[in-house]
């Protein structure tokens, strides 16, 4: 099962702290959470303007502790058929933020991949097909996760019939 995800985070060059995570699978299931553990006072101006200002009301049930997010993400990613396949657009930081929900890399559950497949490289491999326009609300992790799925689908359509699945498995 392929999972397309995005994270929003605060980073200072040494640490990366989760703000929010959005995940969409190929069957249309979605997961979204905002961390109650993040220290938003550490956010730079870009994060304040583009991420924090569009988070849901703090009374929303999507606000959760990192411990709850960790448990729910594991359940979500392992409830599909087969081993989860993670995809993100320029996803190096996204993978670090995801893995750090469990501490260091050694803490990442064995049922989860040790890497995220790079959607940006897949787009280049597919010949840089036209991508869906940037949606309203981008830099909302769930909006961006949905957009990642749409970008993947555009790439799949651009590849010659049958070739797309061979490179992924």
Extract the annotated binding site.
Answer: 6
Helix or strand or coil: residue 129? coil
Burial letters 22-37, b for 16+ CB under 10 A, else e: bbbbeeeeebbbbbee
CA–chain centroid gap for 104, Å, is 18
Helix boundaries (H) for the chain:
45-50, 66-78, 92-100, 119-125, 141-158, 163-166
Residue positions forming the annotated binding site for Mg(2+): 6
């Amino acid at each position: 099962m392929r999972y397309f995800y995005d994270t929003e985070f605060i980073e200072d060059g040494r640490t990366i702290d989760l703000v929010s995570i959005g995940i969409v699978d190929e069957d249309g299931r979605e997961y979204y959470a905002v961390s109650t553990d993040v220290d938003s006072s550490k956010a730079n101006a870009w994060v304040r303007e583009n991420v924090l200002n569009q988070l849901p009301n703090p009374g929303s049930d999507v606000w959760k502790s990192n411990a709850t997010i960790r448990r729910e993400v594991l359940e979500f990613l392992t409830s599909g058929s087969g081993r989860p396949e993670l995809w993100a657009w320029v996803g190096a930081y996204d993978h670090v933020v995801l893995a750090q929900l469990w501490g260091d890399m050694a803490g990442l559950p064995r049922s989860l991949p040790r890497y995220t497949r790079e959607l940006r490289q897949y787009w280049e491999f597919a010949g840089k097909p036209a991508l869906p326009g940037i949606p309203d609300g981008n830099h909302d992790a769930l909006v961006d996760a949905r957009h990642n799925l749409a970008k993947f689908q555009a790439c799949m359509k651009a590849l010659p019939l049958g070739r797309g699945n061979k490179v992924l498995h």
